[in-house]
Structure 1
């Protein structure tokens, strides 16, 4: 048993489980440390630390092979990747996005003075509801951003049809979806481009980083120019740009973690089903499901809490878990539309987004990943049961 755990034999009659060390959602996975250090030493010996070094080039090539796309462009982070991709596609005016996502999805547009138009979600999938999109298209609309939330693909085919019908650009925010598939095809090759996050909290990380994947060669070339100040060659700037480059040390981490990808996913898979088993039949608590016919990364254990059935609110449950050092998280509370500047720009948006409003009060995530032991999961499940049953209210 992990020495950081402090609990009994997981029975209903034992003392309330607690943990000496905090258990986090998204504590970073680290692959083979020796392999990483060897790459870092190689990098230091070469003294090539950034500017499209050999590790970045190798990572891009391996990502292209893994995702089955012609072009992968490594970036310093996914937010910059979204901003550059949006600009490279010539998006302007208004772009339709879901409000139930990380705020960077909206910020990447607003930063460029593009108005994010929030479209309500499908409460079953948690994704943007494609049935509501066409009514929101105006003469100012230039694109749609779909988000593959929790690694589950959004309505890719329908969004593609809508975008083609109305001549709109289509980007997929695939921050959660590395290693996942749709229709047997790896996420990465859909839409005009897809953007991945390799932030430290993602199951696959490059310390900090992102990636743009696209089969559009012309778009890829434009993104490569824009991420490096518009340089073509040593002293020839042919395009406006910024600094979106990934460093060599981040690429070294990515190459190392890529070698452990199957192990990370297997750990997530095991943890996910341990939670499913431990929480099965608990009133008011449902664990989101994954399509076993597709590839999944299982990096998120997502619960929906029905307060009426559970007898306790999601927020009260999170608070009680925090008191035991289980740092469960509310995602994506309270929704982008309730954050600044959007709540000031669109003060009545909550009335137009009832499904998002409801889901934002119900969703929570539990700790998983390689830093979480199965004994931890068993104890967390016991703890949740006791909170639901009213025997623990801290």
Structure 2
């Protein structure tokens, strides 16, 4: 047990883990079932172009999201691009800056200008009042982000967009299987986008999908997804090649098979983190509404340096020395990096505070209860002795500089 600063690996103690413990280790599922699906695809020589595995995957995702249509893609960034294009957006698109950079980059790639607004500090999601304040004559849509799977304030955003005649869509990359007021994420706004990257609760190696109840939009998305082809395979418009392969669909189906078990494990892990870190001053664990259906894909903590005495970045170094590899999702925020920092400078105090404090800890089927207790043991030791850790770290750094 790490009880004193000297026990921390950063200061010479033994590492808590022999092998690295990562955030986002893939959930493989039943390998034999995946290989069965792959062998079927190879035996039938149908590897891409909307094969049976892809169609089954789309049907199952649509069912899980509670919508009529799912259009799978090679990744979620491309899915966002196709969604923006199919919605006919132009000019400015309002979105939170507290999101993965792809939300903004996808808009820029199709000729849109992301306009970043601040978040509600209590939820980390877009603040509807800030979104409305950012509306101009050039605004065509608001894009909400279900941050870490916590739903955006959908009702309030709908009121803003209806009032101003704007379209509404959601980046739901983290939110597969989650609910808002008892309804599955997927059917809100004009469309929503899921991610099936290797690190997600359901993965297809790489992959994404647009889900919608708009049948006409889905038909347009399928055309844009496959070179702009329409009925009879004739080219009808400019499109791209963003199709998901049968191999990716085979992995996605296998991961979907394990979805319920994965979510149960994630929820148990999240509850254990909250229990272990309860009462550690300066550390708050990002919570989810238990009356909804969170997938708990991420365990997110915020480190308040003023209370803890140690900055988030130094705590990261402490954990990495212990062979724990946390992540800063999402820090810096979008408006703090190029090209947005230079092109459209803006101050977003709530976003900047959260981006400076947020830290994501390992979870998922590969992470056990014992792993979590050891991670939290390190966090407790470093934070309860935060000022001592900080002073010692800087003193050592000063000594190293002086000896050069």
Q: Fold match, TM over 0.5?
A: yes
Aligned: 1:362 with 2:357: yes
Report how many residues are paired.
382
Aligned: 1:372 with 2:367: yes
8 Å contact from structure 2 (residues 95, 131) kept in 1:
no
- 1:203-230 Cα deviation digits (max 9, x unpaired): 2101110011100011110000000001
SS at match of 2:301: strand
Q: Distance in 1 between matches of 2:313 and 2:18?
A: 22
8 Å contact from structure 1 (residues 119, 132) kept in 2:
yes
> Who is 1:4 aligned against?
none
Residue number among 142, 146, 149 corresponding to 2:147 in the alignment: 149
8 Å contact from structure 1 (residues 17, 382) kept in 2:
no
Shift, 1:313, TM fit = 0.7
SS at match of 2:372: helix
Shift, 1:184, TM fit = 0.5
- 1:72-121 Cα deviation digits (max 9, x unpaired): 11111111000011011110100001001000000011111210000111
> Who is 2:287 aligned against?
289
SS at match of 2:125: coil
Matches within 5 A, 1:301-316: 301-316=299-314
> Who is 2:65 aligned against?
67
Q: Which has the higher helix share?
A: 2
> Who is 1:121 aligned against?
119
Shift, 1:389, TM fit = 2.9
Aligned: 1:35 with 2:30: no
> Who is 2:209 aligned against?
211
8 Å contact from structure 2 (residues 67, 212) kept in 1:
yes
8 Å contact from structure 2 (residues 281, 384) kept in 1:
no
Q: Distance in 1 between matches of 2:205 and 2:326?
A: 22
Unaligned runs of 5+ in 1: 1-9
Kindly report the root-mean-square deviation, in angstroms, between the aligned alpha carbons of the 2 structures.
1.4
SS at match of 1:278: helix
8 Å contact from structure 2 (residues 263, 297) kept in 1:
yes
Residue number among 172, 176, 180 corresponding to 2:170 in the alignment: 172
Q: Distance in 1 between matches of 2:357 and 2:192?
A: 28
Alpha-carbon spacing, 1:320–1:11, altered in 2? closer, same or farther (3 Å): closer
SS at match of 2:126: coil
> Who is 1:385 aligned against?
380
- 1:372-393 Cα deviation digits (max 9, x unpaired): 1211111111111111133766
Matches within 5 A, 1:1-394: 10=1, 12=3, 17-233=15-231, 235-346=233-344, 348-349=345-346, 352-390=347-385
8 Å contact from structure 1 (residues 72, 213) kept in 2:
yes
Unaligned runs of 5+ in 2: 8-12, 394-404
8 Å contact from structure 2 (residues 146, 170) kept in 1:
yes
Shift, 1:165, TM fit = 1.6
